[in-house]
Amino acid sequence: MVLPIFTVVLPLVVAAFLSLIVKGKPARYIALAGSLVSLGMVALLLSITSNAPISWFSLPGLSVMLTASTQPINLLLLQLIAAITPLIFIYSIGFMDVPSEQGRYYFEICLFAAAMMLFAIAGDFITMLIGWELLGVTSYLLIGFWYKKERPPLAARKAITTIIIGDVLMLMAALLLWNSYGTFSFASIISQGAAPLLPMAMVLVALAAFTKSAQFPFHEWLPDAMEGPTPVSAFLHSSTMVKAGIFLIMVLLPLFIAANMLPMLLIIGVITALIGVTNALAENHIKRVLAYSTIEDLGLMTVALGLGSLPAALTLFVVQTFYKALLFMSAGSIMRANNNEESITNLFVPSTSKALIIATIIGVLSLAGIFPLSGFFGKAGIESASNSIIVYAILSVIGFASSIYIFRWFLIPLRKQAQKRGVLANFRTLPKPMLAATYITAALVVYASLLYLGVLPWLSLTPAPIPIAAAAAETTITLIGLSVAYVAYMRLRLKKMSEAHRAAYLALYNNLAVNAAYSLIARLFNAIAWVVEGIDRNIYRAFRTGAISPILFARLLRRMEDGQANAYVAAFILGTLLLLIILVV
């Protein structure tokens, strides 16, 4: 039966509405209980292999079905979401300390997790679109959660505007594929092979995926989304919405191959990864650095798919879940201890906070690609999949730069001078749930790293092969990046470091250019709309003039109705003579 696999979302949906009704502190425990029940149900339902569709409703000539897919790739994402959700909720118990906001917060984040689970098991476009739309709505609510502030609503509006573009494109793609194949089922469409409208449909699917997964040129909403609560950022960037587009491309990869779309994926992925890494080098906001890092990771996954290497993309897809959640949790803890300061140049992490520093180091080393932590296998696998020396060189430069920016992110708050220029840091008062979730996530990163060769085969997936030469090259590049970062950000004086960063900002940071391009496009469409509106007004005036003329003539005739019979007879005779003259002529 397929029905039980859909029930994994029910505990979270029930918890969402109970949280909204109960409100206050009990909402946090209801949400956590719902996530744990969902995790247990996922563990129990892994043996389900049937994917018979469920009839939703029928119309003449059309029966709309809901299909759950239990393919290994679907179960993989489902397990990642189920595993990370309770950790996010534990972290939220310590982070969200405003009682009046807890009901709304847990309602939104429970629905967000349920939407992603539904998306993960979707076996057709109808089921996928339901989860896809719920993800858009709930992400909009969560990004703009602090709606009383100035920036969060603007960030949420920017995110939903970009996402809605993808929603429209995805709906168009689904209708094109249904018109070509007569079905919405992923498996049925893939089994039938190429069709005349397939290339057009896959271009639309790719663009929709790019909006969801922050690929160029739709990437700029993701850094702005850091205005949301930190647990939302950790959830958003680790295993939920930003990976939805990449996951959909993975599922439909045979169709992209049939439509000759891999070069497009490769080019967009390389551009996106370069944008992410250059902006991360120049950014000072502690969470935005990680946001640009996520853009880089997503770009690398797209590169792997453009190279036709699903195992390489899946490897980074899995390992990035844990180390990115860990880094956001660490960032949130550091910010909380520093009175919510956001700039890494004003943050201070004392050496006495050893447990938090060790946990953060695990995430940093994993992202940088230090062997044998999990990030190494993800990034080295993608570099190994490249069959072009140019692509390999670009990926090597990206890897080198990523090791520099993440060590910069970590090292600057450790400098002794940071205590003088930063705010008074107090790590002793950090909520225990925040620290507990951080430490558990760090343990998961280590676990995934140590059991890398055993975890993926357990899910019937083949890990990306990594030749020894590629592994050595990746390690060497990362160590050089670590050395450069250490010298630049631990040995240089603050003045020289600031000057170097100012130069890097001017050379590398392109946020203003991208937003200026968005603004230019908006003004262009506004100008087009103004022209269309002008044409519409002129057409309206023409028709209005044509309608008014008979009215004015009728009013003139009405004045001739004065009740004089002689005048009517004279008018009748004159009219008759006029008609006779016209007929004669």
In the three-class reduction of DSSP (H, G, I as helix; E, B as strand; rest coil), residue 124 is classed as strand
Are 482 and 368 spatial neighbours (Cβ–Cβ below 8 Å)? yes
Is the Cβ–Cβ distance between 404 and 484 less than 8 Å?
yes
Distance CA 374, CA 368 (A): 10
Share of the chain above pLDDT 90, in %: 41
Indicate the domain borders of the chain.
Answer: 309-509, 520-584
Q: What are phi and psi of 246, to 5 degrees?
A: -60, -45
User: How confident is the model at residue 551, as a pLDDT?
Assistant: 75
Place of tokens 């970590």: 410
Confidence of residue 236 (pLDDT cuts 50, 70, 90): confident
* Closest CA relative to residue 304, chosen from 378, 220, 210, 193: 378
The whole-angstrom separation of Cα 185 and Cα 123 is: 6
As to burial, measured by CB atoms within 10 angstroms (0-12 exposed, 13-18 middle, 19+ buried), residue 175 is: middle
Lowest mean pLDDT among 52-66, 71-85, 165-179, 353-367: 52-66
To which residue do tokens 């992490």 refer? Answer: 349
Tokens, residue 197 = 């409208």
Identify the pLDDT of residue 555: 73
Position 125, amino acid: F
Per-residue confidence band for 541, with pLDDT thresholds at 50, 70 and 90: confident
CA 29 to chain centre: 27
Residues 450-471, mean pLDDT to the nearest whole number: 62
> Which pLDDT score, from 0 to 100, does residue 85 have?
93
For 36, other C-beta atoms within 10 Å of its C-beta total 16
| Residue 122, phi then psi, degrees to nearest 5 | -65, 135
Helix (H, G, I), strand (E, B) or coil at 386: coil
Q: Which residue has the tokens 């958003």?
A: 236
Smallest CA-to-CA distance from 404 within 543, 336, 504 is with 504
pLDDT of residue 2: 46
Residue type, 194: A
Q: What single-letter DSSP state applies at residue 242?
A: G
Helix pair angle (262-282, 494-508), 10° resolution: 150
CB-based burial, 546-582: b 16+ in 10 Å, e otherwise = eeeeeeeeeeeeeeeeeeeeeeeeeeeeeeeeeeeee
User: How far is residue 473's CA from residue 481's CA, in Å, rounded to a whole number?
Assistant: 12
Query: What secondary structure letter does DSSP report for 375?
Result: H
CB burial readout 246-271, b (16+ within 10 A) else e: bbbbbbbbebbebbebeebbbebbbb
**With 60 as the cut, is the pLDDT of residue 70 above it?**
yes
Rounded mean pLDDT of 537-560?
A: 77
Least confident of 267-281, 399-413, 511-525: 511-525
User: What's the first-to-final CA gap in the chain, in angstroms?
Assistant: 88
Across 198-202, 272-276, 385-389, least confident range:
385-389
Is the pLDDT assigned to residue 423 strictly greater than 60?
Answer: no
The predicted structure's pLDDT at residue 252: 94
**65: helix, strand or coil:** strand
The residue type of 554 is A
Mean pLDDT of 63-78: 84
Asked whether residue 268 carries a pLDDT value surpassing 90, the answer given is yes
pLDDT tens, 211-225?
A: 999 898 898 899 999
Contacts of 499 (CB under 8 A, 6+ apart): none
Q: What element of type H or E holds 564?
A: none
Instruction: List the helix and strand counts (H, then E) for the chain.
Output: 26, 2
pLDDT the model gives residue 550: 76
Residues 174, 208 contacting (CB under 8 angstroms): no
Left (φ > 0), alpha (ψ -120 to 50) or beta: where does 229 sit?
beta
Averaged confidence pLDDT in the chain: 85
What average pLDDT does range 417-432 have in this prediction?
A: 67
The per-residue pLDDT for 430 is: 86
* CA 274 to chain CA centroid, nearest Å: 18
